[in-house]
Structure formats: C-alpha cells, structure tokens
DNA sequence: TACTTTTGTGAAATCGATTTCTTAATAACG
DNA sequence: CGTTATTAAGAAATCGATTTCACAAAAGTA
C-alpha cells in the first residue's frame, strides 16, 4: 500500500494539483502552502510513482546502450563515459550486452520500439545503416558509435580507422618490416573494412606490393586470431609482422606464437588495436592503438541527450576522434609493463 | 503521433478491451475476431506503450544491478549470468556501475525506491545489511551477491571465503612457505574479513604463528596492492609468499616485484582471488581462486525473479557456492599460458 | 474607485493499456 | 423446449501524476 499524491494532498489539506506543483517547482504556490505540502511529503515518506510520471510525460529518462560485449575493456570504458554523462543529465542507462549475437542485437533494439527507453546508443555492427535511418525517420532517437550514418538526426562518433592503420604500417615499415600480415575482424563491421583499407594504403605509400595471402579473418576474438595465425603458419609463407585489427585477436597471435616457439618481437612483431586493459600486462607488452573510449562515450551521450531535448539539430553531429599508436614491447618498445 | 490501442480497435471494428485480450492471449476471443485484430496490428505497425502498461501493472519487468565496477571481468561475468537469466524470464536489466564510490551506490539505490525497477541485485559492499533488511521489510525486492543477509526474503549467494582461503594457505605451506603475506581489501567488505579469517585458520592448522606485520590493506585495487607491497618491502621483513585477496591487487604485487627485481615465483610466490581474465595472461600466469561467476549471477537472478512473482519464500534462499584453487605459474604451476 | 494584471488553487481531463462489470449470444443439458 | 453454463465482447473504471481550464483573490494601475 503505497502512498500517492492524493494522500499527500489530503494530509496537507490541498488538491493533488497543488502537490504536483510543489513537486515540480511551479512558482505559483504560496510559500506557506509549499511548506505544508513538503511537511506532508516528509511525514508520509512519499515517493512519486515513476510509472505514472512516465506515462504522463511519455519519457522514462532512460537511455539504452547496445554493445557487442561488456566483458571487454573497450566497451566497458565507453559505457562508463556514457553512464556518467547520462547520470549528470538525470538519465539512467540500460546496458544491453548482445554477446556478439546479431539476433540479440535486434531483440534489444525492440526495447526502443516499445518505448521503454527515450533514446538508444548503438555500438554493434549487425544493426544496418538502413534500419537506423528508418527508425530515426520514424522519430526514434538513436546515436551510433563506430560508424558514420548519413542522416541529419543521428549523432555519430568514430575514429579514423584508415588514418591510424596507416600509422601502424608506417611504424612497422619503419622497423624494417615488409611482409606484414593483416588480421581482419568479421565482415559486417566497418572497422574491419576500413582498417584493411588503411593497411593497403600504408603498404602502397611504402611501395610494398599487396599480397592477399597475408590477410586472414580472425572475427575480432581471441580464438579467431589464434586460428588465423595457425592457418598462416600452415601456409608456410613468410612474414615478420602482424597487424591485428583488435587486441583480442592479438591475444590469439601470442598464443599461436607461444605454441610454435616463435618469439615476439624478435621473430614476429605484433600490433593490435583498442588498448585493451590486458594489453599492457602481456609479455611482451602489446603495441596497440588507443582510442579515447571514455570521452567517446561521454560525447555521444551528451549529443544524443541534447538532440532529444531541444530538437535543435545541433551544429555538430558527426565526431571523428583521433587515436594514438602506443608502441610497446611487441614492436620494439619496452617489453615489460611499466 | 503513435498508434494506440484505440486505433487498432477502430481499424478492426472492435473495442480496445478486445484488442487488449488478443494482445494478452485471453482465451475468450473468437478466432475470427483474433485474426481481424492481428491483421489491424500488423497493418498499423502497432507497439504497445510500455509506460501505460507499467502504470497499470505496477511493474516494469526490469531488474537493477549495482556492482562496484563493470570493467572487471569478475563483475562482468556475474552480470552476464544475471542478464541472460533475466532475459529468458522476460526481464531487462539496468546495470549500475558504482565506480567504487560508496556515494554512487546509495544514489543508485534510490533508483529502486523510485520504483523504476521491480527488483534489485546488490553486489557492492557499502550498502549496509541493516539498510537491506529495512528495505526488504518495506516490500522492496532485493537480492545480494557476496554476503549472507539474515532476512527470510533476501536471496543471497556467496562463496565460502574461509574455506578457499584455507586451501590457499594449505597450498602455499605445501610448497614450503611459512612467511605468507596477506593483502586485504577495504574493511567494509565481508570478503576482506572472511579471507583474513581463512588465512588465520590456515596458519593455525599448520602451527604457524601469526605475524601481524605480514598483513597489509590494498583496497582491492591494483594501486593499493602495489603500495602495500612497497610498504612491506620498506619494512625489511622477510616473506616468501603473498596471498592477495583479489587478482587486482596481485597485479600491483607483480608490478612492485618487477620494480624491485624480485622474481615470481622463485623468490616470492603469489596467489590471488577471482580468476580475473587478465590472470592467465600474466607472466608468470597467476594462481588464483575461481568462483563460478556466471552461475552465481544466473542463480541469484532466478531466485529473485521467483520470489518477486510467486512470493513463495522458496525452500532455498541462501546459496553457498564452491570455489576452486587454480594453480598456475606464480605458485609452482606452469608458467606460460596454455 | 474601477479596471487590468498577477498569483494561487481546485476540478476535471489526460496519458494508454488493462480489467472489472455487464450484457448478449451460443452451447450444453435434463 | 426451457433452463443453466459457457463464450464473446463492449462500456466504463482504474493505475497515479500532470496539466489545462476556470475562477477567485490579491496586487498594481489609471
């Protein structure tokens, strides 16, 4: 038996409307009345019923976030950024872990359709650009992390995959490597494609001919990276460096090399992407590309909330953030964690 | 302009009540009518408004989870267990990351009070047992991970800290160690206390006198573990093994040892707790205690949901799960990751 | 003083789905 | 065939907070 607004109204000898006004800081309330009401609220230990409030306002002050996996420091950091920004704007976040399953992504997307969340931030690859455009046109508030959606109402934040991939190649070539393997992620992700593009451009700049047999798919996970390396070893082709499109796959590379007794970086240099928390604890420490994860989360959350509220399709909608290459032991930097 | 139930009703030529019956699978609807309604729903692309539904049912089908940190594989795994169980029971989960700040825990707790979630799972130390008992008495649905709350309506799941801590000591003593450091976590957590208790009992069993100077507090995080080790080194006391109350602190131990040029496990053996994902990638691999994290999450979520629904204070409310010691390179096992 | 503007408050409508209460139409049964 | 169950479906009340509308009281202005 919960206390409702009428109970407070009765206790204070006013109407529910007046209680509501006090609750919402409406100015047209005598200070004496306000006091009476506040006293009644305190006496009864009244809490407003969020369900009724949501129905009336058609808002839940809740953001949904869909990520491929929360047990990855990459997404965990992004989530923290979103969460803190949302919290400061009085929003809550519902985190949806799609566990790398495209079906789950779509199921979670229906959260938005059922209007339990006011807006949604998508950081997964399986939800297509067309679907996002369609939903946005229908009036749903959506923001995207990791790719650029061509729609005036969809805030996007991503990093320049091509740019940092070229830097990675620069770095490796600078160390004398010419036979550089590229481990790609699954095909649905733009990240896979763009990092490959950067790899190709990097080679071209250094006039190194592209050898297709040096590209393998590792599905962005450790097992995939391991298997891809095994395939490469079995092919008996020579290479001296591996650029893995993320750190998870680099873990698989380490494992495969350990099994074959190949030393990193002496025999094979390795560079990953994401600056996963694990990367600096490996032996040797893993060279990787760091993205400003926390900031990315915070920025996209802020933009989405802004847009949901004032509907002013803000000056800036698309954010490309810079990533930096961190050179560690796996490609010539200090081998131990500092 | 969303489509509502009346629109569907009009289109199908029936009353909103009938549409609701179709929506909720009520048997008293002619199959012909049902078809008409379903057709109208499909034609209009109707989605029920969750806010109205929540208000009517006074339920949101949402669970809140408060954890100290999502960027820790320990909690991430627990969350996955909760999430999947909740999902299969048609519940959603709101994950609240308290970021190791007691104030944040309390703020999130107020989420529950505002009734936006139907139940809450607490995995943080700062919310006191008394508070939990008080809220449960008030009718809020709460479950707890990591400690045992003495209240008939609060499902709890935890592991026997004393038991596995004794096993850790057994293991270390078995390797010939007698001067074993204990790195404790912050005092608010029962885990700290109970793991210390197990450490003491373990020593006693082996007739090893307790030396208080071998106990240091590392606050459950890497920096704390590092600083604690530095204090120990500076005290110039001798010891040959460290039992860290979690893997995070063990990371700090590794770092401190690296700086001082101390070899693990030759000079100092190390054992942690949690089987954090990182632990098996360290060099040497870290011996640790594994808890069935995913299963713990799933079990507690199931119990909470059961209790919220049928109110039958189920036979079993308190779950003590077994943990197992995983011996790796830091205490004599294989040094490289397998 | 008479009239306009600003304050202050209550009654009632609203948000949209569900459910109770009715009533009507069939079906089942003696 | 008449009477009781069962099935089917609508009207209206309900969940609880907010807001519009209406009106009165107080304050300000000519």
Query: Mean of the per-residue pLDDT values for chain B?
Result: 92
Is residue B320 within 8 A of residue B309, CB to CB? The reply is: no
C-alpha dihedral over B104, B108, B109, B113, to 10 degrees? 140
User: What is the model's pLDDT at position A338?
Assistant: 44
Instruction: For residues A291-299, give the mean pLDDT.
Output: 95
pLDDT at B99 over 90: no
Task: Render pLDDT for B143-198 as a digit per residue (tens, 0 to 9).
Answer: 999 999 999 889 999 999 999 999 999 999 999 999 999 999 988 888 999 999 99
Q: CA-to-CA distance for A217 and A185, rounded, in angstroms?
A: 6
Q: What angle do CA A204, A210, A212 make, to 5 degrees?
A: 150
What band does A333 get if pLDDT is binned at 50, 70 and 90?
A: low
Q: Is the dihedral of CA B180, B185, B190, B191 positive or negative?
A: negative
Quote the percentage of chain B above a pLDDT of 70: 96
Task: Render pLDDT for B58-71 as a digit per residue (tens, 0 to 9).
Answer: 999 999 999 998 98
Query: What fold characterizes domain B161-290+325-331?
Result: Rossmann fold (3.40.50)
Q: Is the CB of B171 under 7 A from strand C?
A: no
Q: CA-to-CA distance for A295 and A85, rounded, in angstroms?
A: 10
CB-count exposure of residue B23 (10 Å: 0-12, 13-18, 19+) = middle
Nearest alpha-carbon partner for A100 in A90, A108, A88: A108
Instruction: For residues A246-275, give the mean pLDDT.
Output: 96
Task: Render pLDDT for A20-71 as a digit per residue (tens, 0 to 9).
Answer: 999 998 888 999 999 999 999 999 999 999 999 999 999 999 999 999 989 8
pLDDT at B335 over 60: no
- CB-based contacts of A269, cutoff 8 Å, min separation 6: A172, A175, A177, A240, A241, A242, A287, A330, A331, A332
Nearest alpha-carbon partner for A31 in A15, A18, A47, A43: A18
pLDDT at B311 over 60: no
Which nucleotides of strand D lie under 7 Å from a protein CB?
7-12, 14-20
pLDDT at B337 over 60: no
Tell me whether the CATH fold assigned to A5-48 matches the one assigned to A161-290+325-331.
Answer: no
Closest by Cβ to B80, choosing from A80, A97, A114? A97
DSSP A320: E
What band does A169 get if pLDDT is binned at 50, 70 and 90?
A: very high
Q: CA-to-CA distance for A179 and A193, rounded, in angstroms?
A: 20
Query: What fold characterizes domain B58-159+292-321?
Result: Rossmann fold (3.40.50)
Residue of least CA–C1' distance to C15? A56
CB-count exposure of residue A213 (10 Å: 0-12, 13-18, 19+) = exposed
Phi then psi dihedrals of residue A266, to 5 deg: -55, -45
Taking contacts as CB-CB distances below 8 angstroms, the residues of chain B near A258 are 336-337
Domain ranges of chain B: 5-48, 58-159+292-321, 161-290+325-331
Question: Which residues make beta-bridge pairs with B269?
Answer: B241
Is residue A258 within 8 A of residue A250, CB to CB? The reply is: no
Task: Render pLDDT for B197-244 as a digit per residue (tens, 0 to 9).
Answer: 999 999 999 999 999 999 999 999 999 999 999 999 999 999 999 999
Instruction: For residues B27-48, give the mean pLDDT.
Output: 92
Q: For domain A59-158+292-322, give the CATH number.
A: 3.40.50.2300
- CB distance from A77 to chain B under 8 Å? yes
Structure tokens at B150: 């003495």
Within A 56-115, residues with CB less than 7 Å from strand D:
56-57
Instruction: For residues B70-89, give the mean pLDDT.
Output: 92
User: What is the model's pLDDT at position A145?
Assistant: 96
Least reliable range by pLDDT among A90-104, A130-144, B15-29, B39-53? A90-104
Task: Render pLDDT for A86-95 as a digit per residue (tens, 0 to 9).
Answer: 999 989 888 8
What band does A270 get if pLDDT is binned at 50, 70 and 90?
A: very high
Q: For domain A5-48, give the CATH number.
A: 1.10.260.40
Q: Residue B251 CA to chain centroid, in angstroms? A: 20
Collapsed DSSP state (helix, strand, coil) of residue A275 = coil
Q: What angle do CA A180, A291, A100 make, to 5 degrees?
A: 80
The more confident residue out of A211 and A309 is A211
């Amino acid at each position: 038996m919960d206390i409702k607004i009428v109970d407070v109204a009765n206790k204070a000898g006013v109407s529910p409307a007046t209680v509501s006004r006090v609750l919402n800081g409406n100015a047209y309330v005598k200070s004496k009345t306000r006091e009476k009401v506040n006293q009644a609220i305190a006496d009864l230990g009244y809490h407003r019923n969020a369900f009724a409030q949501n129905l009336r306002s058609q808002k839940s002050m809740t953001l949904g976030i869909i990520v491929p996996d929360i047990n990855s420091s990459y997404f965990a950091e992004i989530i923290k950024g979103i969460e803190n920004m949302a919290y400061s704007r009085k929003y809550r976040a519902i985190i949806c872990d799609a566990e790398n399953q495209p079906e789950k992504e779509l199921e979670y997307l229906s959260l938005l359709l059922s209007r339990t969340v006011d807006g949604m931030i998508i950081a997964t690859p399986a939800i297509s650009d067309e679907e996002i455009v369609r939903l946005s046109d229908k009036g749903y508030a959506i923001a995207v992390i990791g790719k650029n959606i061509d729609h005036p109402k969809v805030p996007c934040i991503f990093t320049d995959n091509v740019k940092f991939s070229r830097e990675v190649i620069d770095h490796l070539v600078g160390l004398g490597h010419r036979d550089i393997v590229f481990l790609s992620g699954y095909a649905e992700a733009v990240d896979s494609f763009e990092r490959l593009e950067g790899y190709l451009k990097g080679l071209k700049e250094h006039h190194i001919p592209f050898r297709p047999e040096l590209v393998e798919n590792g599905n962005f996970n450790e097992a995939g990276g391991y298997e891809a390396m095994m395939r490469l070893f079995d092919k008996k082709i020579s290479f001296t460096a591996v650029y893995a499109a993320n750190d998870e796959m680099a873990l698989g590379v380490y494992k495969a090399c350990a099994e074959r007794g190949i030393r990193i970086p002496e025999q094979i240099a390795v560079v990953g992407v994401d600056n996963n928390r694990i990367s600096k604890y490996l032996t040797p420490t893993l060279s990787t590309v760091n993205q400003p994860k926390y900031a990315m989360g915070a920025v996209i959350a802020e933009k989405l909330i802004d847009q949901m509220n004032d509907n002013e399709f803000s000056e800036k909608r698309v954010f490309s953030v810079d990533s930096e290459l961190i050179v560690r032991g796996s490609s010539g930097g200090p081998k131990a964690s500092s």
